[in-house]
């Protein structure tokens, strides 16, 4: 290569690098215009307060400037929230519309409720963005693990993927299985675990087919948000499964003073839990993994 060609290609190279740096600067700048230098964290805090939160979750809460969480959560994590700006309850209004239970809303009211929800979530996104624009670290505290039935995703959906960091947490399912001292899978001939909630399976004929179809296969079922619907859920399961199928209800999993396990079968469980008052913090677990020695049973089953 002649000296001129070398100098020419050096110039072209320098020009290319300059353009690239300018493009990166402009891009980052545009991004910061939108989100500021702050960051948005969604933190899985575990099923029962700080004792079950991960080290990373606690560190992230400590470092945050601004917190969104329920009143209940702010009490349980009060030690870590001192001196922080609390911006309110991100789930406010989730369960009632104009003091009415959601199940009792007519179609017009249901529509109004949905519109109102979207508006509220959008407003929350705007509030978070405005804090980020000031360079603040904003943390939204979700219970258990945010990625299993985590309401925080209503807010997360208002952000670009790279604007949010999710800190995983210990879910109530894990805490419930620990309380039962059982493993959900492998167990006998069970091949999978279904994490679900009654409102996905009951009430509409097409949903009920799901339970009927799945009942062909041995399965461990874990029901969230199921206590209020225990009667209809168990009645439906009884249509497809044998009445001696083991069922356990784990209330307040992970809470040292309140955790409670009730064990029974599809036949007995409703009587067994009749006197329980809790209608939210409980998991209903159904399956053969709850009986006998399922690990050893599985080996025998495979060897058959
Ligand atoms: C909206 S879901 C939240 C689940 C959460 N993201 C998790 O991973 O644990 C709420 C439902 O989770 C269950 N749940 C949450 N915490 C619980 C606990 N400590 N003990 C038993 N069930 C719990 C209940 O079924 C409750 O109705």
- What confidence tens digit (pLDDT) does each residue in 142-190 have? 999 999 999 999 999 999 999 999 999 999 999 999 999 999 988 888 9
What pTM, to 2 d.p., does this model score? 0.86
Please tell me the predicted confidence (pLDDT) of residue 291.
95
How far does the centroid of ligand 1 lie from the alpha carbon of residue 145, in Å? 9
Please tell me the predicted confidence (pLDDT) of residue 147.
98
Query: Per-residue pLDDT for 45 more than 80?
Result: yes
Strands 220-223 and 193-196: parallel
Domains 36-170 and 174-303 share a fold: no
- Closest to 180 (Cα-Cα) out of 229, 226, 149, 220: 220
Please tell me the predicted confidence (pLDDT) of residue 185.
87
- Atom number in ligand 1 closest to CA 223: 25
- Confidence label for 21 from pLDDT (cuts 50, 70 and 90): low
Task: Give me the CATH topology for the region 174-303.
Answer: 3.30.950
36-170 CATH pick, 3.40.1010.10, 3.40.50.720, 3.40.30.10, 3.40.630.30:
3.40.1010.10
Residue of minimum CA distance from atom 2 in ligand 1: 149
Per-position DSSP letters for 223-289, written without gaps between them: ESS-GGGHHHHHHHHHHHS-TT-EEEEEESTT-TTT-EEEEEETTTHHHHTTT----SSEEEEESGG
Q: Which of 3-12, 72-81, 131-140 has the lowest mean pLDDT?
A: 3-12
How far does the centroid of ligand 1 lie from the alpha carbon of residue 32, in Å? 36
Domain boundaries defined on the chain: 36-170, 174-303
Query: Per-residue pLDDT for 68 more than 60?
Result: yes
Residues lining ligand 1, Cβ inside 6 A = 47-48, 143-145, 148-151, 171-172, 175-176, 224-225, 250, 252-254, 280-283
- Atom number in ligand 1 closest to CA 226: 25
Residue-wise pLDDT tens digits, 241-297: 999 999 999 999 999 999 999 999 999 999 999 999 999 999 999 999 999 998 888
Q: What percent of the chain has pLDDT over 70?
A: 87
């Amino acid at each position: 290569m002649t000296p001129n060609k070398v100098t020419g290609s050096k110039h072209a190279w320098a020009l290319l690098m300059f353009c690239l740096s300018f493009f990166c600067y402009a891009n980052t700048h545009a991004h910061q215009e939108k989100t500021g230098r702050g960051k948005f964290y969604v933190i899985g805090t575990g099923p029962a307060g700080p004792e079950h939160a991960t080290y990373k979750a606690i560190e992230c809460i400590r470092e945050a400037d601004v917190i969104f969480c329920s009143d209940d959560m702010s009490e349980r994590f009060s030690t870590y929230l001192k001196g922080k700006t609390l911006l309110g309850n991100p789930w406010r209004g989730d369960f009632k519309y104009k003091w009415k239970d959601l199940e009792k809303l007519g179609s017009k009211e249901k529509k109004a409720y949905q519109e109102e929800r979207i508006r509220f979530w959008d407003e929350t996104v705007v509030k978070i963005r405005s804090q980020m624009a000031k360079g603040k670290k904003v943390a939204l505290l979700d219970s258990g693990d945010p990625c299993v039935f985590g309401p925080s995703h209503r807010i997360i959906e208002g952000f670009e993927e790279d604007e949010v960091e999710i800190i995983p947490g210990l879910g109530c399912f894990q805490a419930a299985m620990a309380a039962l001292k059982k493993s959900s899978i492998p167990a006998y001939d069970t091949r999978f675990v279904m994490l679900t909630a009654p409102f996905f399976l009951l009430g509409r004929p097409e949903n009920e087919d799901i339970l009927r179809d799945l009942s062909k296969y041995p399965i461990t079922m874990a029901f969230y948000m199921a206590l209020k619907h225990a009667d209809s859920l168990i009645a439906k399961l009884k249509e497809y499964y044998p009445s001696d199928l083991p069922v356990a209800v784990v209330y307040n999993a992970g809470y040292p003073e309140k955790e409670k396990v009730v064990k029974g079968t599809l036949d007995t469980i409703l009587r067994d839990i009749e006197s329980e008052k809790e209608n939210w913090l409980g998991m209903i677990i159904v399956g053969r993994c709850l009986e006998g020695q399922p690990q050893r049973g599985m080996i025998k089953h495979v060897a058959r």
